[in-house]
Amino acid sequence: MSHDKEKKGSSSETNASVNNISVTNRQLNVRPFQINENRTETASGWEKWLRNIERQFRYFGITDPEMKKDGLIIYGGQIIADLEDTLLDATGDEAGEDAYAQLIIKLNKHFLPKKNKDFARFQFGNLKQSHGESLVRYYTRIREIAKKCSFSNESEAIRDHLIKTMTNNVVRIKAIRKNWTLDQILEEAELDEETRTQAKEMEKKVNSDETIK
């Protein structure tokens, strides 16, 4: 019996040791945040940086607000540390949020310009697909602007704009005839573009072989 207890005790200690290692060895792969001279670029950069570190928080199972706050300050670098000290603390309902949420609110207010829905919709309406730009990449550009437009149905607005402005007329006609969803349009466009690329490669190979002959 005592031997069994010793084994169980040893097993518990081992598990505890493993758990401690998994907690203490979490090393996030995040570079310090850098401010751009262009305020718009800084805002965009901040959103991307924040998404990246929050993705890593989720992956490593870091959920404690205080740990997340400390992690954000440590990995954010001196800029974030200084702002945490100097920016005004949250007030009103925001003051009831946890420590991490309050810090994010402060930093978002500092880095992100107030949304101008009308101007964003003006930008959205003038977006066009560039020559040689894939539809998926074009969709990514549209989506970034659409986030600022406060559309009641963002996916539908993006879908309609894609159909109106895409350069691939084959996909456009199919999308209109079959009343495709946004996902269906993107899937078909990606397949069509991949097929065209493969066809060009095959044509090059054939022409190359004929030249050799």
What are the angstrom distances between the C-alpha of 59 and each of 30, 150, 178?
13, 30, 39
Identify whether the C-beta of residue 145 lies closer than 8 Å to the C-beta of residue 124.
yes
Residue 14 has pLDDT above 60, yes or no: no
Among positive and negative, which fits the CA dihedral 103, 105, 110, 112?
Answer: positive
Residue 200 has pLDDT above 70, yes or no: yes
What are the angstrom distances between the C-alpha of 38 and each of 83, 97, 192?
18, 31, 37
Categorize the per-residue pLDDT at 203 as very low, low, confident or very high, splitting at 50, 70 and 90: confident
For residue range 119-140, list pLDDT tens digits in order: 889 999 999 999 889 999 999 9
- Name the residue with higher pLDDT: 103 or 203: 103
For residue range 65-75, list pLDDT tens digits in order: 999 999 999 99
Identify whether the C-beta of residue 34 lies closer than 8 Å to the C-beta of residue 79.
yes
- Name the residue with higher pLDDT: 160 or 195: 160
How far is the C-alpha of 54 from the C-alpha of 136, rounded, in Å? 25
Categorize the per-residue pLDDT at 15 as very low, low, confident or very high, splitting at 50, 70 and 90: very low
Identify whether the C-beta of residue 185 lies closer than 8 Å to the C-beta of residue 194.
no
Check residue 38 and give its pLDDT: 84
Categorize the per-residue pLDDT at 186 as very low, low, confident or very high, splitting at 50, 70 and 90: very high
Phi, psi of 33 (to 5 degrees): -75, 140
Check residue 150 and give its pLDDT: 84
Nearest to 22 by CA among 53, 55, 61, 54: 61
For residue range 23-49, list pLDDT tens digits in order: 345 688 999 999 988 887 888 899 999
Specify the long-range contacts of residues 30-38, CB closer than 8 Å, at least 24 apart.
30/56, 30/75, 32/75, 32/76, 32/77, 32/78, 32/79, 32/80, 33/76, 33/77, 33/79, 33/80, 34/77, 34/79, 35/79
Domain ranges of the chain: 39-111, 117-211
Check residue 211 and give its pLDDT: 63
Q: How many C-beta neighbours within 10 Å does residue 72 have?
A: 23
CA 6 to chain centre: 49
Nearest to 172 by CA among 188, 156, 157: 188
DSSP state of 32: P
